[in-house]
Amino acid sequence: MTTLGIRGAFFDFVDDPWKHVGREQEAARFHADGLMVIEDGRIVDFGAYDNIAPRHRALEVTPIADRLILPGFIDGHIHFPQTRVVGAFGEQLLSWLQVWVFPEELKYKDRAYAADAARRFFDNLLAAGTTTCQAFTTSAAESAECLFDEAARRNMRLISGLTGIDRYVPADYANTPEEFYRESKRLIGRYHRQGRSLYAVTPRYALGSSRALLEACQRLKSEHPDCWVNTHISETRDEIAAVQVEFTDCADYLGVYEKYGLVGPRFTGGHGIWLTEDEFGRFSRSGAAIVFCPCSNLFLGSGLFRIGRATDPRSRVRLAWGSDVGAGNRFSLLGALDEGYKIGMCNNAAVTDAAEAERNKISPYRGFWSITLGGAEALYLDEWVGNFEPGKEADFVALDWTAGPSALAWRQSLVGDRPRTVEQAADLLFGLMMVSDDRSVDETWVMGKRLYKKGE
Ligand code: GUN
Ligand code: ZN
């Protein structure tokens, strides 16, 4: 058994800050001098140093000084095979897929290419402070195998699955529904709940799915009800119009996934920018989650997600945040918080309901909860990750508030040499999300092991 202690300034969450309007700090927890005790990768004790240390006399303690230690970030929606097409010029969703994405993803039939990309993918995530993700692969089983294998090598928590598509796609890229069913089934047997891996049945999106492919998904989900389901929904208006033409028997976009029995707990739909009021209500009641991907939504010009609607307490929707790399132009979830904040403010140029306008404001509490505990809850991962509760896996990131762009300096000056209160820590975090990026990520730890150190 390996036991170690980490001493430093810890910031995590115990509740949803949107439930604590005007007193959001009640949802957070800050120990200016804290101690986390880790045994075999799991947190066994956590709290103020003076309270915890006497219980662990012979503990070997690693100090992480002058950093804010947060739970590792959770990226609810990312495309592993788009690592090499980040920042592709000039197209919106449907043409971007054809011009840039399918030709690149086609290369993932080559196992060596896919394995190399998987290493780069996790290197990028760790450098951004992200320790858990839900990731799309390609239509080739090799891509899913390389991703799961690389995650296992690093002992990282991953939700993923073979990504099925058989319509509106080049013929050499498409799956057949039979092959998709057979290969998904094999991959579930090999990876689901092995180590930290979890399997998601993954129809890419309704527009790219024949009825036979959706029936294959339905069969997989009914045979493996504890698997996740991951897909896209209502990202652009022309996509929705095309879905309505294809699925005239479904009232709306969510209705397609409902018809095939996919919507419920552990279902996630990326984007949801153009969902109707009725769809938001059904998301809320079913326990399914939306993933908000601000960088992507702005990069492709898809639209402004209604954060204030999704967080309406009268029918709250589970909400994770994602980078959506490569439509998202950066891996950093600090970058997602930056752009998400701006989307909230843009929404408020038109929103007239004062309560919704208030909910559109991404405070540091709302932002960092969303990429830690909130993301974990939305994706049904909170029994393992999301905060520093004993029993959970010791995934965390050490943020350096003294690094990053020089524009951060004025925020540091508000706090002095180090944050002493939860409000001061939150103030620094707001500076990090709005002004900084990966430069502030100093160390990333997975299951009690340091896997990334800036500059090494
Ligand atoms: N919809 C279907 N496939 C994709 C994809 O790769 N990226 C995004 N952003 N939307 C999609
Ligand atoms: Zn996506």
Which residue(s) pair with 25 in the sheet? none
Using alpha carbons only, how large is the chain's radius of gyration in Å?
Answer: 21
Instruction: Please count the CA atoms within 13 angstroms of the CA of 202 that sit on its side-chain side.
Output: 29
Ligand 1 neighbourhood includes 235 CB (under 6 angstroms): yes
205 pocket-lining for ligand 1 (C-beta < 6 Å): yes
Question: For the purposes of burial, counting CB atoms within 10 Å of the CB of 172, is it exposed (0-12), middle (13-18) or buried (19 or more)?
Answer: exposed
Nearest atom, ligand 1, residue 239 CA? 1
Distance 242 CA to ligand 1 centre (A): 15
Q: Give me ligand 2 centre to Cα 134, in Å.
A: 10
Distance 325 CA to ligand 1 centre (A): 10
Give the C-alpha separation, 115 to 142, whole Å.
9
Query: Residue 105: which of 139, 77, 141, 59 has the closest Cα?
Result: 139
Q: Is 93 in the pocket of ligand 1 (CB under 6 A)?
A: yes
**What would the pLDDT profile of 68-110 be if each residue is shown by its tens digit?**
999 999 999 999 999 999 999 999 999 999 999 999 999 999 9
**For all residues of the chain together, what is the average pLDDT?**
97
The arithmetic mean of pLDDT across residues 401-424, rounded, is 83
The pLDDT of residue 289 is: 98
Percent of the chain predicted with pLDDT > 70:
100
Spatial contact of 307 and 292, defined as CB atoms under 8 Å apart:
yes
Cα–Cα distance measured from residue 168 to residue 216, given in angstroms and rounded to the nearest whole number: 18
CA distances from 341 to 18, 241, 347, 362, 367 (A): 14, 29, 10, 5, 8
From ligand 1's centre to the CA of 95, what distance in Å?
11
- Is residue 27 within 8 A of residue 14, CB to CB? The reply is yes
Q: Where are the alpha helices (DSSP H) in 192-230?
A: 211-223
Q: Is 79 in the pocket of ligand 1 (CB under 6 A)?
A: yes
Nearest C-alpha to atom 3 of ligand 1 is from which residue? 204
One-letter amino acid for residue 441 of the chain = V
Ligand 1 atom nearest to CA at 327: 9
Ligand 1 centre and the CA of 340: distance in Å?
Answer: 19
C-alpha 278 – ligand 1 centre gap (Å): 23
Compute, in angstroms, the gap from residue 233 CA to the centroid of ligand 1.
9
**336 neighbors 328 (Cβ within 8 angstroms):** yes
Atom 7, ligand 1: which residue's CA is nearest?
327
pLDDT in tens, 174-220: 999 999 999 999 999 999 999 999 999 999 999 999 999 999 999 99
Atom of ligand 1 nearest to the CA of 207: 2
Residue of minimum CA distance from atom 8 in ligand 1: 327
402: confidence class by pLDDT, cuts 50, 70, 90: confident
Q: Which ligand is nearest to the CA of 204?
A: 1
Res 408: pLDDT: 76
**Per residue in 281-332, pLDDT tens?**
999 999 999 999 999 999 999 999 999 999 999 999 999 999 999 999 999 9
**Cα 93 vs. chain centroid, distance in angstroms?**
20
**Structural domains for the chain:** 3-71+387-453 (2.30.40.10), 73-378 (3.20.20.140)
Can you tell me the distance from the alpha carbon of 128 to that of 397, in angstroms, rounded to the nearest whole number?
A: 9
- Kindly state if the Cβ of 327 falls inside 6 Å of ligand 1: yes
CA 282 to ligand 1 centroid distance, Å? 23
324 lines ligand 1 (CB under 6 A): yes
- The predicted model scores a pTM of 0.98
293-327: b (≥16 Cβ within 10 Å) or e: bbbbbbbbebbbbbbbbbbbeeeebbbbbbbbbbb
**Phi first, then psi: what are they for 327, rounded to 5°?**
-70, -30
> What integer pLDDT is reported at residue 404 of this predicted model?
76
Q: Is the pLDDT of residue 388 over 80?
A: yes
Which one, of 9, 6, 34, 1, lies nearest residue 450 by Cα? 6
* Closest of 292, 313, 420, 291 to residue 16, by C-alpha: 313
For residue 128, the Cα-to-chain-centroid distance in whole angstroms is 12
Residue from 137, 209, 235 to probe ligand 1 pocket by mutation (most atoms less than 8 Å from CB): 235
Nearest CA owner, ligand 1 atom 11? 232
Q: What is the pLDDT of residues 154-187, one digit of tens each?
A: 999 999 999 999 999 999 999 999 999 999 999 9
- List strand residue ranges (DSSP E) for 296-351, in order: 318-321
Provide the pLDDT for residue 230.
99
Write out the H or E segment, with its range, that includes residue 338: helix 333-347
In the predicted structure, residue 49 carries a pLDDT above the cut 90 = yes
Instruction: Give the pLDDT of residue 44.
Output: 98
Q: Which atom of ligand 1 is nearest to the CA of 324?
A: 9
Is a pLDDT exceeding 90 seen at residue 1? no
93 alpha carbon – ligand 1 mean position (Å): 7
| 426's tokens | 């939150």
What is the percentage of the chain residues whose pLDDT exceeds 90? 96
Long-range contacts: 106-110, Cβ < 8 Å, 24+?
Answer: 106/138, 106/170, 106/172, 106/173, 108/81, 108/137, 108/138, 108/140, 108/142, 108/143, 108/146, 109/138, 109/140, 109/142, 109/143, 110/142
Q: Do you know the residue count of the chain?
A: 456
Q: Closest ligand 1 atom, CA of 235? A: 10
* pLDDT score for 207: 98
In short, whether 296's Cβ falls inside 6 Å of ligand 1 is yes
101 lines ligand 1 (CB under 6 A): yes
Question: What's residue 77's pLDDT?
Answer: 99
Q: How far is the CA of 52 from the centre of ligand 2 (A)?
A: 42
